[in-house]
């Protein structure tokens, strides 16, 4: 049983990730939350928590962990300063801490559009922050997987997707399917040291990820 730190666990996607991990026979989730008041949601569901704030010192959250999923984000209505603090600086610090604690793998939730942040009006700061964090992870010498989904929806997951290093079209995908992909990427040798874009499609999620080069 591997201990998985879920950063951003209290977010919409993070909660789904934590539940999938809880129901797994291979992984035990530890939900990183910012406030004590958030504890009951997880503890009532049998999920342990760790207190940590991406804008402060959150190093204690990494103790005893084997791998990490970073699914945090400042949110759509956040200021540029907040977005940079969480999505860039917080993510980079998480990579540094994962490396310092000798974690086996870092799975990053990123976004489509990071290759050209200036082309997506209104999301430039967000995508630039994501790109900076992704690039830092790629150069960190950690084993990693970066998942870059299209627009996230709250629709029920189908586990039917379209996956490529670079998709030639935009699209959407359910948070449930993204969460499944992030958990599936925890396997050490699976989609190792690479990134991929993902939207809803017609292909089986696990088959696509298993065969991804």
pLDDT of residue 121: 60
SS3 breakdown of the chain: % helix, strand, coil, rounded to 5?
Answer: 35, 25, 40
Q: Which fold has domain 2-211?
A: Rossmann fold (3.40.50)
Task: Return phi, psi of residue 150, to 5°.
Answer: -80, -160
- pTM of whole model > 0.75? yes
Which residue's entry shows tokens 């907040």? 82
Q: Which of these is catalytic: 126, 144, 184, 212?
A: 126
Q: Which two tokens stand for residue 17?
A: 């990730």
Give pLDDT tens digits along the chain (213 positions): 999 999 999 999 999 999 999 999 999 999 999 989 999 999 999 999 999 999 899 999 999 999 999 999 766 666 777 888 888 899 999 999 999 999 999 999 998 877 765 555 657 777 888 999 999 999 999 999 999 998 899 999 899 999 989 988 889 999 999 999 999 999 878 788 999 999 999 999 888 888 776
In the annotation, is 126 catalytic? yes
pLDDT confidence of residue 213: 66
- Beta-strand (E) ranges in the chain? 2-7, 27-33, 48-51, 67-70, 105-109, 144-149, 151-153, 160-164, 172-174, 194-200, 203-204
Domain ranges of the chain: 2-211
From first CA to last CA, the distance across the chain in angstroms is 27
Cβ–Cβ under 8 Å, residues 55 and 92: no
């Amino acid at each position: 049983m591997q201990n998985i730190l879920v950063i951003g666990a209290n977010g919409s996607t993070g909660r789904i990730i934590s539940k999938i991990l809880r129901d797994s026979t291979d992984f035990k989730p530890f939900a990183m939350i910012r406030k004590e008041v958030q504890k009951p949601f997880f503890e009532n569901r049998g999920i342990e928590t760790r207190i940590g704030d991406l804008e402060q010192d959150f190093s204690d959250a990494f103790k005893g962990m084997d791998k990490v999923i970073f699914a945090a984000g400042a949110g759509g209505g956040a200021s540029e300063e907040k977005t940079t603090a969480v999505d860039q600086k917080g993510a980079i610090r998480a990579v540094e801490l994962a490396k310092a604690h000798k974690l086996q793998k870092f799975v990053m939730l990123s976004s489509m559009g990071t290759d050209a942040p200036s082309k997506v009006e209104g999301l430039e700061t967000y995508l630039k922050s994501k790109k900076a964090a992704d690039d830092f992870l790629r150069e960190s010498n950690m084993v990693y997987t970066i998942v870059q989904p299209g627009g996230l929806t709250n629709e029920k997951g189908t586990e039917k997707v379209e996956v490529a290093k670079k998709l030639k079209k935009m699209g959407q995908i359910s948070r449930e399917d993204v969460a499944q992909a992030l958990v599936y990427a925890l396997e050490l040798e699976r989609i190792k040291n690479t990134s991929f874009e993902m939207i809803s499609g017609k292909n089986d999620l696990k088959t696509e990820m298993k065969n991804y080069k």
